[in-house]
Structure 1
Amino acid sequence: MVSVGKANLSLADFEEVLFNEERISLDAEALANIEENHLFLKQFSSNKLIYGINTGFGPMAQYKVSEENLLALQYNLIRSHSSGAGNLLSPLSVKSLMIARLNSLMQGYSGVHTDVVHLLKDLINNDVYPCIYEHGGVGASGDLVQLAHLALVLIGEGEVIFNGEVQPTAQVFESVQIKPLSIQLREGLAILNGTSAMTGIGVLNLLNAHKLLNWSILLSAITNEIVGAYDDHFSFELNVVKKHLGQNKVAETFRNIVSDSKLIRKRADHLYRHENIDQEVFEDKVQEYYSLRCVTQILGPIADTIDYAEKVVIGEANSVNDNPVVDHKNKNVFHGGNFHGDYVSLEMDKLKIAITKLSMLSERQLNYLLNDKLNKKLPPFVNLGTLGLNFGMQGMQFTATSTVAENQTLSFPMYLHSIPNNNDNQDIVSMGCNAASLTRKVIENAFEVLAIQAVTLLQAIDYLGCAEQLSSVAKQMYDDLREIFPVFADDKPRYKEMRLVKEYLSKNNPVLCPAFLGQEAAL
């Protein structure tokens, strides 16, 4: 059980609820704080002009709303902004979004009634997912459109995904005995005015980015193994003199993977002995191509980017991102812009650039494996059939190349795409939900590219007959994936098996080595 409100949620807490079916509970002390906050606002707002309670919204805030229309104002906000378009967000994205919104409201600065948080908890625990569309929010004044669709479901309207089907909310609420929300004060604005859509999607992006990094390190290590690369480019001594934590983290992971490999060569045994160097031209390369030799330098900044993005996005998930902020402890209401999504937007843009570079590294390693003139160890396209008659991995390379090209185009930053709107009230915006959604697509693409690289490595291992000489970590991956994608020499459509490999990579996080033990002191 993951308790919300007691302490800050971590990325691991999100993972437990999203992937391991942990249920959510609400901390009693935090609930009491929310109740006190709500009662304070109810009393404090009497005979005062407070945005979103007795005024219109956005540029309409100059218009006072009469007492008898205050609750209708909140319902109007929800219904009018339920204007999303495009594809539905996945149930997992919506679940993450709901956890993020719940956690923000549980901070006790939004003036909402406890009914809101109880209802959100019930939806999460019963796997009832509001139908929320990917297009709509501009990420300032919050993810208004996406969260409006969440609010629409909370008041018992709209549609939800339940048991894998889109169904009317009212019908599902009745079947699982959930009571719709009745607006009491400012619950409409409090639900809409936040960064929880971009944050929820961002959390999922981070969980998948960590997986991609681990797979990329593993596939890079196996590539080095099968070509008999030298050991010094991932050595402690070489990497520690470069003062970057991510590079040394990748190098340590790499070393742990290949620690029991029988294929990695020691440079001192091959190129530092006099009897081995008495020739004018060496058949073996003295140094590997960059895509093999510079793995720690390339994946290091990607590791650092993922770690920093996690710090920022999880910080946002534990923040109050509402407006106004209701501070019952200081007996005041503060108007501002905590709903502005620039923190998440910028990190998502940085993350998608990093993951695009990761997919580029994979594509270059793939090209190295498929080009016999480069590797000088494998047949063209790792073709295990008849050269000229069969094609090996040739067709799959086209898919990898085109997918990486798409990633490169998608990686232009959304953070710089501010377009004024809302009668210029929102004159500079974050586009954070767009940034998170595009990053999600880049990550999905990267899994496709790494799946093709993984299958190519399987074919190469079988051609070389070196499976028993691999490191134990590499051998485990080989065995697991060969269950999904058997060795082949003939030409048949392989797209269904490739889809299974991609699903395997996206659902599993390889166990590479103990957690980074921390060489900060050495850096």
Structure 2
Amino acid sequence: MTGNLPSDYLQLKDIQDYLKGDKDYILADTQLQRSIRSFEFLKEFSKNKVIYGINTGFGPMAQYRVGEENLKELQYNLIRSHANGTGDFLSPATTKIIMICRLNTLALGFSGTSPGVLKTLESYIAHEIYPLIPQHGGVGASGDLVQLAHLALGLIGEGKAYFKNEIVTTEYALQAANIKPAELELRDGLSLINGTSCMSGLATINLIQTSTLLHYSVLASSVMNELTASYTDSFSEELNGAKLHPGQQFIAQKMRENLVDGNVLKNRKDHLFNEEYIDGQEFFSEKVQEYYSLRCVPQIIGPIYDTYLNAKKIVEEEINSANDNPIVCAETENVYHGGNFHGDYISFEMDKLKIGVTKMSMLMERQINYLMNNRLNNKFPAFLNMGKLGFNFGLQGMQFTAVSTTAENQTLSNPMYVHSIPNNGDNQDIVSMGTNSALMAERVINNTFEVLSVQLVAIAQAIDIDQSYEKLSTASKALYDFVRKSIDVIKEDKPQYEGLARLKANLLQSKEGL
């Protein structure tokens, strides 16, 4: 979207504020007025007409007309019949963002949703009543029917919900908060469940966390170059400017910024371009060029960053779009039937994102291996062992964890986008599997925070062994200090899983990002 954004345009930075509890989602008067106009138009327009979702069955049963006396109960039947998901429940924080995304799209005024339902949804969010939503169910077209049915089930006062960090009956939560459930009208049931708000809500959180991973991966890669006293030309403006990809150029720039005031990097003109330095040497103990995991960071992380930016654009467009069916347009006084519920945009972007994040975890793992393998780095003891070799084992056990987790990422990176299975009596003959894709991306991202945690412990350990803290850049020192808040230097063999868990938690809570 170009030009000035509408005042109620929901951006990723807003989602981050809602996620951290720094801001509350409040319906604007303009949103309510749009919704009222849409609802009132639909109420009048639908008289003596056949309109899907108001007086017909659903899916392949849309050929059946429903009598006037059953229209209200029809909306309740739809919600109850589809609330059949399985698997673990989404977290309260994730559910909150999904609810905000659903409210935001319904408030665009293209869904004909009753104002009462919108106000009820707003009230649930304000009182932190988050209906339980299972992971498994929706196929991503017609949207997230099953997951959003569980959300809607809570809105009508049924099922269970998170409330004050406990799982309770929704009825109990409503009584405690002194609010009433939603009263469904017209097509409220369909408008609540027929959309992409579950997959796109998950996608927003995935993007926020990917931004954090990108920040720390670039920073860790920068420190890696300091630890190995690498040459500066691999992330120089001149070299990376010779290739036109903006992501590569940006990552190289961030590395230069991270390393601007350090004291250990080498300039090629002082070494291999210096006649006095090379005079008479037939073999150079220092590598002429670093391994790819150190030398090619802009080329590896650059495309991941570009992919992140494109996904951010697509996801923001989706959460600010009308993504249900049919579309109610009071402006043209018509109702349009189509497929805005289809989640292909989100599914495709989440598949690409998880591939990128997996590649990031692979880079982390290779950099870990470089530090662990004394035959590669020719500098540090095997497995960064600060004890007695053979008797103590250093970070050997941590490396296994990083390798196995990275391997899981590689398997999870197979795409969901191309795994459509027809269902719903072949009415839904090609679907997006968008929520599955977003959930798999979430798993890959979570795994990568674990690999990153191991890498950061290894980097801090290497700094202690090298005793190079004072020579490092300010950014590198800050990273070392951040790690040491969670886990101490490792000299003896003791379990470190709690320290790794603390570090991962601190990384997830970090507001740093690219």
Answer whether TM exceeds 0.5 for this pair.
yes
| Distance in 2 of aligned mates of 1:46 and 1:289 | 71
- Partner of 2:26, secondary structure, is strand
In the TM superposition, what are the counterparts of 1:418-433 in structure 2 within 5 Å?
Answer: 418-433=420-435
1:358-389 Cα deviation digits (max 9, x unpaired):
00000000000000000001000000110000
The letter of the residue matching 2:108 is Q
1:110-141 Cα deviation digits (max 9, x unpaired):
01111122112122222221100000000001
Q: Which of residues 377, 380, 398 in structure 2 aligns to 1:378?
A: 380
| Distance in 2 of aligned mates of 1:144 and 1:166 | 23
Pair 1:113-2:79 in alignment: no
* Of 171-180 and 144-153, the range deviating more from structure 2: 171-180
Give the structure 1 partner of residue 29 of structure 2.
28
Give the structure 1 partner of residue 93 of structure 2.
92
- Partner of 2:427, secondary structure, is coil
| Distance in 1 of aligned mates of 2:162 and 2:27 | 24
Give the structure 2 partner of residue 408 of structure 1.
410
Where does the alignment leave 5 or more consecutive residues of structure 2 unmatched? Answer: none
TM-score normalised by length of structure 1: 0.96
Q: Is the 8 A contact 1:55 1:63 kept in 2?
A: yes
Give the structure 2 partner of residue 337 of structure 1.
339
Give the structure 1 partner of residue 215 of structure 2.
214
Give the structure 2 partner of residue 476 of structure 1.
478
- Partner of 1:326, secondary structure, is strand
* Of 18-27 and 490-499, the range deviating more from structure 2: 18-27
Give the structure 1 partner of residue 157 of structure 2.
156
Pair 1:123-2:124 in alignment: yes
In the TM superposition, what are the counterparts of 1:25-104 in structure 2 within 5 Å?
Answer: 25-104=26-105
Q: Is the 8 A contact 1:356 1:446 kept in 2?
A: yes
| Distance in 2 of aligned mates of 1:241 and 1:173 | 61
Give the structure 1 partner of residue 371 of structure 2.
369
How far 1:5 moved relative to its partner? Answer: 8.1
| Distance in 2 of aligned mates of 1:391 and 1:286 | 31
| Distance in 1 of aligned mates of 2:328 and 2:511 | 41
| Distance in 1 of aligned mates of 2:241 and 2:442 | 33
1:417-437 Cα deviation digits (max 9, x unpaired):
100000000000000000000
- Partner of 2:303, secondary structure, is helix
How far 1:59 moved relative to its partner? Answer: 0.5
RMSD of the TM alignment (CA)? 1.1
The letter of the residue matching 1:223 is M
The letter of the residue matching 1:506 is L
TM-score normalised by length of structure 2: 0.98
Give the structure 1 partner of residue 268 of structure 2.
267
* Of 160-169 and 437-446, the range deviating more from structure 2: 160-169
| Distance in 2 of aligned mates of 1:193 and 1:333 | 16
1:251-293 Cα deviation digits (max 9, x unpaired):
1100000000111111111111111112000000010000000
Give the structure 2 partner of residue 518 of structure 1.
none
| Distance in 1 of aligned mates of 2:500 and 2:10 | 35
Give the structure 1 partner of residue 178 of structure 2.
177
Count of matched residue positions in the alignment of Structure 1 and Structure 2 = 509
Q: Is the 8 A contact 1:14 1:96 kept in 2?
A: yes
Give the structure 2 partner of residue 226 of structure 1.
227
Give the structure 2 partner of residue 285 of structure 1.
287
Pair 1:306-2:276 in alignment: no
**Structure 1 residue ranges (4+ consecutive) displaced by more than 2 angstroms after TM superposition:** 4-7
- Partner of 2:417, secondary structure, is helix
How far 1:178 moved relative to its partner? Answer: 1.6
Give the structure 2 partner of residue 461 of structure 1.
463
| Distance in 1 of aligned mates of 2:504 and 2:322 | 37
| Distance in 1 of aligned mates of 2:482 and 2:368 | 20
The letter of the residue matching 1:411 is S
The letter of the residue matching 1:332 is N
The letter of the residue matching 2:328 is V
| Distance in 1 of aligned mates of 2:512 and 2:220 | 11
CA separation of 1:450/1:373 partners in 2, compared to 1, >3 Å: closer, same or farther? same
Percent identity reads: 53
How far 1:92 moved relative to its partner? Answer: 1.5
- Partner of 1:333, secondary structure, is strand
1:488-523 Cα deviation digits (max 9, x unpaired):
211011101111111111211447xxx8xxxxxxxx
How far 1:87 moved relative to its partner? Answer: 0.3
Q: Is the 8 A contact 1:215 1:509 kept in 2?
A: no
CA separation of 1:416/1:100 partners in 2, compared to 1, >3 Å: closer, same or farther? same
- Partner of 1:25, secondary structure, is coil
The letter of the residue matching 1:353 is I
| Distance in 2 of aligned mates of 1:347 and 1:483 | 35
Give the structure 2 partner of residue 256 of structure 1.
257
| Distance in 1 of aligned mates of 2:459 and 2:72 | 62
